[in-house]
Structure 1
Amino acid sequence: MTEKYNIDDLQYLMARLRDPDGGCPWDLKQTFATIVPSTIEEAYEVAEAIEREDFGHLPEELGDLLFQVIFYAQMGSEQERFSFDGIVHTLVAKLVRRHPHVFPTGELRGERREGGLDEQKVRDSWESIKEAERTSKGEQGALAGVATALPALTRAAKLQKRAARTGFDWPDIDQVLAKAQEEIGEVREAIATGDLDAAREEVGDLLFAVVNVARHLKADPETQLRATNRKFERRFAFVESAITGSGRVLEDAGLEEMDAAWDQAKERGL
């Protein structure tokens, strides 16, 4: 019978990997900074598995992401900064604090609240508690605490949401779309003047406006763009196959032929 491992085993494994006496050379030379790219990559692989509904591989991807947390915890313990137990304690305490509608006594196993919950009131309470936490950390301003390392589309959406809570927002989607159209016009004007630096800046404004459109449609811009990327890959693969299947290379086909194949891909629902 295969042995069933648990979180204690995972922590033991990590300690062995980082053991100066017989540990793994690669793991031993890592630092907090060097494994950040792996953490980000693993998080995206979790997202991709979910978006593809690849639930067979999702546990493996979640395990890879969990390993990143264990890695940080091991290094924190080695440097006597923090431990895995400390990470868990901080997380549970924060979640209990942010869910007074579930934990009215402020205790994990305290008295339960009876009755239904109003989702909007819960959301407002959550944001109010988070704002109080930011203030206690010395983070001032409505936009404080939005991580600069976030993907640009995600950060734009978060900045817009924060601003919207103060009343700084378009009242309806038509005005948001009009703003996006205005930004397209400004891109055209900058290009017409030959000022490419200005045109590039205007493209940034256009992207920000499009994120605003997604937000008003209650769509996550990162998720939507990843879906569109996958759709582009499927359709372009069809175009490529249609042309190379006749023994030619893509460069031998004109744009008109490739557009016709692209339309076929769309008709087939790719």
Structure 2
Amino acid sequence: MAANPLDYEQAGELKFGQVGIANLRVRTLDPERLGAEMAERVQRAPKLFARAAVVLDFGGLSRCPDAAQARAVVDALHAAGVLPVALAYGTREMDELSQAVGLPLLAKFRASYERDGESEPAAPPPRRTAAAPEPAPAPAAAPARAAEPGLMHVHPVRSGQQVYAQDRDLTVCATVGAGAEVIADGSIHVYGALRGRALAGAGGLASARIFCREFHAELVAVAGHYKVLEEIPKDLLGKAVQIWLENDKLHLAQLD
């Protein structure tokens, strides 16, 4: 008997892609306070934060919370109107915690914090004895690889669409519509109206900037520091604007 061809079709197609999920790094294990802060954010910008997916990062605490404490945080955030969907990966304790509370681990949300202000310590020079021969001269350094060019996007980014430039800058030669999202590990240049969200320095690059010709953004962020439209001076709306990070504070200024 011939096999039913439907038997070979997938019931669901699974793909992996870049998504703009907010990372909430918990600095004080106080569910009531966390819930109140998130409720205020939801009230201030409901289109951005109401029912927004967030990843919980407990790496800023002196110790890993127990399951009861983590569940209390999750419940407080649900009550505030946001949806915790995962834990940021950290230690073996965090792995056990994720199983206890029934949330998966997402490793990438630890990367930017681990890179902040940290550098690999220099390896100590090798010890030499009097009898040791002189080391051979180091080989000539290989020529530096040319930097990867930025991503150029020439079409409008429409509501619900997302454009991500991994490890490079992003240039959009059109409008970013309301409800659309542009993300870059480097800087973002929008040669049109910016009405959606723009997140530069997504991998933690604090020197990244955002430039746009006509500013109406729902949200802008550099290296995780963000502002929503309600927090932005009204005199910048419709103007050419640049956004940058300085001393952990997001700045916006009109371009000349």
* TM-score w.r.t. length of structure 2: 0.23
* TM-score w.r.t. length of structure 1: 0.22
Query: Rg larger in 1 or in 2?
Result: 1
Ranked by relative contact order (alpha carbons within 8 Å, sequence separation 6 or more), the top structure is: 2
Higher strand share: 2
Higher helix share: 1
